[in-house]
Amino acid sequence: MRQAIGDVTGLTVLDMGCGSGMYTRIFANEGAARVVGIDSSDGMLATARETENPDNVEYLKRDAAHPDPGGDAVLDGRFDLVSAVYVICYAATKDELTGFFTTARRALSPARGRFVAMTLNPDYHRDPAYYSRYGLTLTPSHEGEGAPVRLDVSVPGIEIHVNLFYWSRTTYEDCAARAGFGETAWTAVTVDEQGLSRLGPDYWAPYLAVPPIIVITATA
C-alpha cells in the first residue's frame, strides 16, 4: 500500500472502511494534512475514537457501499487520496462494488485524485492449504463472479473468520469506470527487507508467486 500510495505529506486523505483506525493514524503520522476515517460499524468507530489519535484525524459513520444518491456534502470533493484496506472485497454484489468506487470518486476533487485499495487477488490460489504456512486459508464456495470466499486467519493473538467475495479484474475495472474513474492499474505485493531477513526468500516464494492480496489504483 505504501509503495502504491507514495508520499502523503500535505494531502487530505479519506480512509474508507477504517475499522479501528490503524491506517487512518498511519496517514496522519506520516504527514497528511487531514485524515477522515469512515466506517459503517458503530463498534469499530467507537474503538477508533477511543484510541489516542492525532489532532488532524476525524471519524464519521458512512456506508460506503451504498452512497446517498444525493451525495455527501461533508465528504464530496474534499480529498486528494482515498484508501481502502481489505474493504471492497466485502461487496456482495456488483452494485455494492460500484458503490465503493462511487463513494471514493465523489470524495476526490473533481479533476484529480487517486483511490488505492488492497483487495482479494482475483488470481489467488484455489487450494485452501496453499497459504497455510502464513496462517491463513482461502476457501472458495464455487467459481464465478460474486462467489463467497471463506477467509480464515489463525496466528498468535488473531483469529479471523469472514466471507469475502470474488470479483474478476474486469469487474473491478468496469465498476471503477461506472463510478467515473478514468483508468485503473494493478500493483503486486512485495515483502520488505525485514520480512526477507527474518524468514528468507524461500519462505516467501509461494506467497509472492500467487499472492492472496493485490492493490488496485483508480485514478480520477
pLDDT attached to residue 2: 87
pLDDT attached to residue 110: 85
Q: In this structure, what C-alpha cell is assigned to residue 147?
A: 462467489
User: Checking phi first, is residue 40 left (phi over 0); if not, alpha (psi -120 to 50) or beta?
Assistant: alpha
pLDDT attached to residue 78: 97
Report yes or no on 58 lying in a domain.
Answer: yes
* Host domain of residue 58: 2-121+168-219
Report yes or no on 161 lying in a domain.
Answer: no
**Integer Cα distance of 119 and 149 in angstroms:** 12
pLDDT in tens, 1-51: 888 999 999 999 999 999 999 999 999 999 999 999 999 999 999 999 999
pLDDT attached to residue 111: 82
Q: Is the separation of the CB atoms in 109 and 82 below 8 Å?
A: no
Report yes or no on 158 lying in a domain.
Answer: no
Single pTM value for the model: 0.96
Report yes or no on 159 lying in a domain.
Answer: no
Give, in degrees to the nearest 5, the angle at Cα 216 between 161 and 188: 85
| Sign of the four-CA dihedral 165, 185, 27, 208 | positive
pLDDT attached to residue 7: 97
Report yes or no on 17 lying in a domain.
Answer: yes
pLDDT attached to residue 128: 93
What are the DSSP calls for 32-88, one per residue? -SEEEEEES-HHHHHHHHHS---TTEEEEE--TTS--TT--TTTTT-BSEEEEES-G
Q: Using 50, 70 and 90 to split pLDDT, how confident is the model at 199?
A: very high
Helix, strand or coil, per DSSP, at residue 176: helix
pLDDT in tens, 77-119: 999 999 999 999 999 999 999 999 999 999 998 888 999 999 9
Report yes or no on 132 lying in a domain.
Answer: no
pLDDT attached to residue 112: 85
Report yes or no on 180 lying in a domain.
Answer: yes
**Integer Cα distance of 120 and 127 in angstroms:** 15
Instruction: Give the N- to C-terminal CA distance of the chain in Å, as an integer.
Output: 18
pLDDT, average across residues 155-159: 90
pLDDT attached to residue 23: 96
Give the number of domains in the chain. 1
Report yes or no on 92 lying in a domain.
Answer: yes
Q: What is the CATH number of the domain that holds 93?
A: 3.40.50.150
pLDDT attached to residue 99: 98
